[in-house]
Amino acid sequence: TLQGKTAVVTGSNSGIGLGVARELARAGANIVLNSFTDRDEDHALAEALGTEFGVTARYIAADMSKAADCRALIEKAGACDILVNNAGIQHVAPIDDFPVEKWDAIVAINMSSAFHTTAAALPVMRAAGWGRVVNIASAHGLTASPFKSAYVAAKHGVVGLTKVTALETAEEPITANAICPGYVLTPLVEAQIPDTMEKYGMGREEVIKKVMLERQPSREFATVEQLGGTTVFLCSDAAAQITGTTISVDGGWTAL
Ligand code: NAD
């Protein structure tokens, strides 16, 4: 059980982050939800999570594209035993046509935010005498696809950062690992479907089966519950000697 632990999950008002936060709450952890918006519904989401699982749950707005916001999130959380770096965005375009501002945003949100939150969280974990860093990377942290230069570069970077974090905490009761999901049907993936349809000249179902799940031998999307379960496992005592590595939840993608 994770009772008494506090988990900060970046980018968790939808998709995988919310799924991970739910499973951590189910396991007894207090939760800090986050995104860059500060709407009533964001705070209501945290309140509902707290009520459902009988834990303390708060929503803290912070923009993961900004270094100061990343560090302020950990400070405002007050505690951070479990840090899940999940915030991420995608943009699909050939390199020579890739908008510079999209490159900068993806590198900042998908990679640099994990550096800033980790830098702020490690002293807090050390003071508490226990910690878990779980970085939500991607199959694209291990392999590449065309038209996703910024995303693939940032996710490979996150895997590298995970290894360094593990080495710097190796002799402490702190671990750092990356989870590498294949395709999970979330709003982020949903948003890629129109672009991909255009790029390949295909319809929606064809893009899902032939392009997206073409790389995923199971031919099934992974679920946010499965990613939450993997995160809970990495926070368990059984995983205390698992550090600096990646766990693929990709239906066999990276075995190809
Ligand atoms: P999503 O769009 O549902 O969720 C992304 C989350 O990040 C949202 O909560 C969003 O509000 C938040 N976010 C975006 N910009 C932010 C910012 N500037 N500051 C703070 N929060 C911000 O997408 P998802 O599929 O759940 O993706 C979550 C993570 O999982 C991402 O890092 C993504 O790269 C990774 N991932 C997703 C898949 C997939 O198939 N869905 C596969 C591999 C990896």
Rounded CA gap, 49 and 71, in Å?
Answer: 24
In 3-state terms the chain splits into helix, strand, coil percentages (rounded to 5) of 50, 15, 30
Pick the atom of ligand 1 nearest to 184's CA.
40
Q: How many CA atoms lie within 13 A of 90 on its CB side?
A: 21
**Contact 98 CB / ligand 1 (< 6 Å):** no
DSSP string across 191-204: HHHHHHHHHHT--H
pTM above 0.90, yes or no: yes
Rounded CA gap, 231 and 236, in Å?
Answer: 9
The full length of the chain comes to: 256
CB-based burial of residue 11 (10 Å sphere; 0-12 exposed, 13-18 middle, 19+ buried)?
A: buried
pLDDT tens digits, residue range 171-219? 999 999 999 999 998 987 888 899 999 999 999 999 988 888 988 999 8
Q: Whose CA is nearest to atom 10 of ligand 1?
A: 11
Q: What domains, with CATH codes, occur in the chain?
A: 6-182+222-248 (3.40.50.720), 184-221 (no CATH)
59 catalytic? Reply is no
Place of tokens 């699909």: 92
**Contact 21 CB / ligand 1 (< 6 Å):** no
**Contact 41 CB / ligand 1 (< 6 Å):** no
pLDDT tens digits, residue range 220-249? 999 999 999 999 999 999 999 999 999 999
Q: Whose CA is nearest to atom 20 of ligand 1?
A: 35
pLDDT tens digits, residue range 157-181? 999 999 999 999 999 999 999 999 9
99: Cβ contacts below 8 Å, ≥ 6 apart: 91, 93
2: Cβ contacts below 8 Å, ≥ 6 apart: 24, 27, 28, 29, 82, 232, 235
